[in-house]
Structure formats: structure tokens, C-alpha cells
């Protein structure tokens, strides 16, 4: 079971940084987080802000979330807050709800088997903590001291604790040095920590990009050889992690670093052969979509994971659809429908895609097949499609990368949307003349049979 790597030259020691030396002000802290801290302190418990919020405050950034850690158990926390709900099995946590803001409160974590089989409250550590054969933590509700909790943190800059009792920051893993040198460093033995929770490899990349840091050599070295362990992570959890990776406003840079460390293959195995070449159309298309997504997020515009996943899986879909047409003689429409189900099914074995997003992905893909068909009333009907805009935006990015007929088609739709009704009709007439008609055939009038005519008479 987990214990600190005794051979590590990194000792966990708390260094107190007084208020005058760290620059964190209560004005920058959520009022609700302060309420939680003060109430826990008043009830006789230790309570600290911890992790990313302290790190970001030290960097002069504005945290999105404020997490609290305490020596109170989840049940004791619930007893103090009527607006509290307990969640989680792997990690038992308290969520204290203030309208739209949730303050997450965790109890100090301890080591599973160091110094006996019981935690300070007399609970059986073996019952509270569990690992699988790879060393991955499946259950982790062993409680301990603040020193043990700091040791259990993942990265050094996340083991800093801010107290409202004296307004000091206690730095247990020299996180200040990591911040000053702009390095992402794991606490303890990197291989052991990655085996405990392989998602830490994704977090290392995300923090490096988000904070404009580098991953220290000891922290980076095991990643490629252990990347396959992401296959042990539940697909639902990886969906949430990929949202953090790609919808943070730095998705393109994150994608490139994931590729550098071999972390894309366990997440998107269907992309492996398509993105080996930096200059391939597949790579350029994904980068263009991520770049556009980053721009939208950084300009406070809405984005949907469906568009991103549709882009990531577009060329695997196109390849599978063409394969089905060649091998089974299916028409393009049927081949696309079958390929969509197969591609999404393969992907959801690794990353779950909720139906509300996979349905939109299918709409975007189907529109790529429908948008070239513009004659008659079709063009006007397509403009009213609920997902027309997403399908058009998707086509526009394809046009930027693929050029040729795809770019010409995207430009046509750009003009068609902006034109008035008279101009739209003229565009359709010109298109029909240029492409040879495709006029609808006149309906054949059915001849009445003689018998029916006689009966009528």
C-alpha cells in the first residue's frame, strides 16, 4: 500500500511563510470559502485553503475554485453545515453549497499502512484504502495529519496551505521554489505516484501549459512508459479530464504537449496513425479547430465539446466510411451512418461521450454530406436545420485545411447566408446552370384504368 518513498531525497517539511511575505489577501478569496474556514476554526478544527487556489493566488492569478482541507471528518463537516452534501466513494468529500458556488472540503489524507492498521480514529486502514495490481488507488479514505496530507498531494506547488487563523502559508514541499523556477514537480517517486493515479500524467501536462511552466526531468521521464495506464481509468472520468485539457483556452498547446509525451494514443487510439506527421491534413485540421476553440473561450464565447469531438474523430470517420463503401458496396449515406456508430463506439471504450454530445456530433457529420446538396428547396431547408451553424463552421475549417471543392463549398454557404432572398435565388439559379441542372423531374400523372373510368361513369 501507499507510503512515502523512503529513498526519496525530497523530505516533506512545513515552512511557514508569514502574511508579510506571501502577498495573499482575503479580498482575493471567496467570501463563502472564508465562511467555511472560520466556522471550522470556531468549532475547534484546523482548516486551510489548499492546492490550486493557493498556488494561483501566489502567482497573482484569480482562482476559479477554492478548496478547503481540515482535520474534521466528513460526518463532522456535515454536522456543521446544513447546506452540505457528502459525495464520492474513492475520495469521500464534503460539498458545501452556496447557490452556484460549491466549496469542496476534504479531510486530511493519511498513509494506508504506515505504522499500523488503524487510523487516528480507530478505523481499519485496509477497509478504508484499496489499490489494484498496478498500484492504482481504488479507494482512499484513510485520514491522517496535515503533514501526511501534504505528502499525499500530487505536485509540490499544490502542497501549500493558507490559514485564516494567522494568515500564514505553510509550504510543505518547497512549492515556492517550483513556482519561482516555473517547474511542475511531483512529490515523491514519480513512477509510484503515476501508478497510484495515472491521471496525474494528464494533470502534469495541463499545469505546464496553463502556468507556462516546464515539467521537471524526474517528473517527465516515466510518462511515456506509463501512458498505457490511462487505459485503467474509467471512461467517464477521462471525459471530465479531457474537458479540462481542451476547453481551458489553451487546447492547442495542450494537444501538442500530450502528443509529445505519448498521452494521446491511450485517449484517442483512432488518431494514432493520422497525427504522426506534423504537416498532415489531419494534424492541421485538429490544430485549427483547437485554435478556433481557444479563441472563442478567451473571448467569452460559447463552445461545445460535441464540436471538438466531431473534429477529433472526423478523419477516422471518413476513413471508415470509405472503407465500408469499398468493401461492402454501400452507398455513401448508409456507409456514413454505419461508420458513425462504429467510430463513436470505439472511442467510448476509452472516453465516455454523453449522448447529448454524441447526438450533436452525428448532426455535424451528417451535415457535411448534406451541405453539398443545394438545389431546389434544399438550401433553404438546410438553413433552418437546428445544427446548421455548427455544421457550417465545421465545413469552414475543413475548407481552410483541405482547399479545393470543400473551400469553394464553404465560401458559397458563407455568401448564401448573408444574401437577401432575391440574391439567394439567383445564386441557386447560377449554380444549377453551372452544374448542369439537377432539376427535379416532373411528376408522372397516373393514367386511370378503363375499369375505374367505367365505374365512375
Catalytic residues: 65, 67, 154
Residue 349's H or E segment, with its range, is: none
Beta bridge partners of 160: 171
Could you give the dihedral angle defined by the CA atoms of residues 139, 144, 148 and 151, in that order, rounded to the nearest 10 degrees? 20
The CA-based diameter of the chain, rounded to the nearest angstrom, is 107
C-alpha–C-alpha distance, residues 226 and 407, integer Å: 41
Task: Locate 250 and state its grid cell.
Answer: 489553451
SS (H, E, C) 113-165: CCCCCECCCCCEHHHHEEECCCCCEEEECCECCHHHHHHHCCEHHHCEEECCC
Q: Which residue has the cell 472511442?
A: 347
Tell the burial category of 457 from Cβ atoms under 10 Å away from its Cβ (0-12, 13-18, 19+): exposed
C-alpha cell at 88: 464520492
Q: How far apart are CA 285 and CA 282, in angstroms?
A: 5
In order, the DSSP letters of 215-243 are E-HHHHTTHHHHGGGGGGS-HHHHHHHHH
Q: Residue 87: name the closest of 95, 76, 79 by CA.
A: 95
Q: Which helix (H) or strand (E) holds 255?
A: helix 251-260
Non-local (6+) Cβ contacts of 370 within 8 A are 378, 382, 391
Q: Which three cell numbers stand for residue 53?
A: 487556489
Backbone φ and ψ for 48, nearest 5 degrees, come out as -140, 150
Residues forming beta bridges with residue 155, ordered by sequence position: 186
Contact assessment for residue 97 and residue 83, using Cβ atoms and an 8 Å cutoff: yes
Residue matched to cell numbers 471525459: 239
H-state helical runs in 313-420: 314-328, 332-348, 355-370, 378-383, 388-402, 404-418
Residue 68's DSSP bridge partners are 49, 105
Report the length, in residues, of the chain.
Answer: 457
Strand partners of residue 107: 70
Amino acid at each position: 500500500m501507499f507510503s512515502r518513498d523512503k529513498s526519496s531525497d525530497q523530505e516533506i517539511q512545513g515552512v511557514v511563510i508569514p502574511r508579510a511575505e506571501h502577498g495573499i489577501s482575503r479580498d482575493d478569496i471567496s467570501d463563502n470559502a472564508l465562511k467555511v474556514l472560520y466556522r471550522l476554526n470556531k468549532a475547534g478544527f484546523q482548516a486551510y485553503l489548499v492546492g490550486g487556489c493557493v498556488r494561483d493566488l501566489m502567482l497573482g492569478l484569480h482562482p476559479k475554485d477554492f478548496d478547503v482541507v481540515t482535520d474534521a471528518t466528513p460526518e463532522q463537516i456535515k454536522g456543521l453545515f446544513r447546506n452540505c452534501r457528502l459525495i464520492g466513494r474513492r475520495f469521500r468529500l464534503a460539498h458545501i453549497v452556496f447557490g452556484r458556488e460549491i466549496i469542496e472540503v476534504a479531510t486530511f489524507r493519511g498513509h494506508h499502512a504506515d505504522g499500523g492498521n488503524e487510523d487516528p480514529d480507530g478505523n481499519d486502514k485496509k477497509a478504508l484504502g484499496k489499490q489494484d495490481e498496478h498500484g492504482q488507488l481504488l479507494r482512499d479514505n484513510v485520514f491522517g495529519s496535515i503533514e501526511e496530507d501534504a505528502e499525499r498531494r500530487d505536485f509540490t506547488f499544490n502542497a501549500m496551505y493558507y490559514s485564516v487563523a494567522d494568515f500564514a502559508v505553510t509550504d510543505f514541499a518547497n512549492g515556492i521554489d517550483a513556482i519561482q523556477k516555473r517547474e511542475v514537480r511531483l512529490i515523491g517517486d514519480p513512477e509510484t505516484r503515476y501508478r497510484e493515479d495515472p491521471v496525474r500524467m494528464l494533470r502534469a501536462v495541463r499545469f505546464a501549459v496553463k502556468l507556462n511552466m516546464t515539467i521537471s526531468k524526474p517528473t517527465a521521464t516515466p510518462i511515456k512508459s506509463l501512458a498505457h495506464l490511462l487505459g485503467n481509468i474509467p471512461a467517464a472520468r477521462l471525459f471530465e479530464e479531457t474537458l479540462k485539457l481542451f476547453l481551458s483556452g489553451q487546447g492547442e498547446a495542450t494537444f501538442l504537449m500530450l502528443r509529445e509525451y505519448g498521452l494521446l494514443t491511450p485517449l484517442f487510439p483512432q488518431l494514432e496513425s493520422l497525427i504522426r506527421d506534423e504537416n498532415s491534413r489531419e494534424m492541421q485540421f485538429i490544430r485549427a479547430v483547437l485554435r478556433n476553440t481557444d479563441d472563442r473561450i478567451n473571448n467569452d464565447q460559447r463552445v461545445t465539446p460535441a464540436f471538438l469531438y466531431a473534429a477529433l474523430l472526423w478523419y477516422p470517420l471518413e476513413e471508415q466510411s470509405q472503407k465500408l463503401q469499398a468493401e461492402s458496396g454501400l452507398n455513401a449515406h448508409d456507409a456514413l451512418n454505419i461508420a458513425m456508430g462504429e467510430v463513436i463506439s470505439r472511442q467510448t471504450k476509452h472516453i465516455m461521450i454523453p449522448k447529448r454530445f454524441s447526438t450533436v456530433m452525428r448532426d455535424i457529420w451528417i451535415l457535411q454530406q448534406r451541405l453539398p446538396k443545394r438545389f431546389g428547396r434544399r438550401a433553404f431547408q438546410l438553413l433552418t436545420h437546428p445544427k446548421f451553424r455548427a455544421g457550417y463552421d465545421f465545413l469552414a475549417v475543413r475548407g481552410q485545411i483541405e482547399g479545393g471543392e470543400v473551400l469553394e463549398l464553404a465560401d458559397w454557404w458563407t455568401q448564401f447566408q448573408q444574401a437577401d432572398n432575391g440574391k439567394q435565388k439567383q445564386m441557386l439559379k447560377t449554380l444549377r446552370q453551372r452544374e448542369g441542372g439537377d432539376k427535379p423531374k416532373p411528376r408522372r400523372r397516373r393514367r386511370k384504368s378503363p375499369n375505374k373510368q367505367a365505374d365512375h361513369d
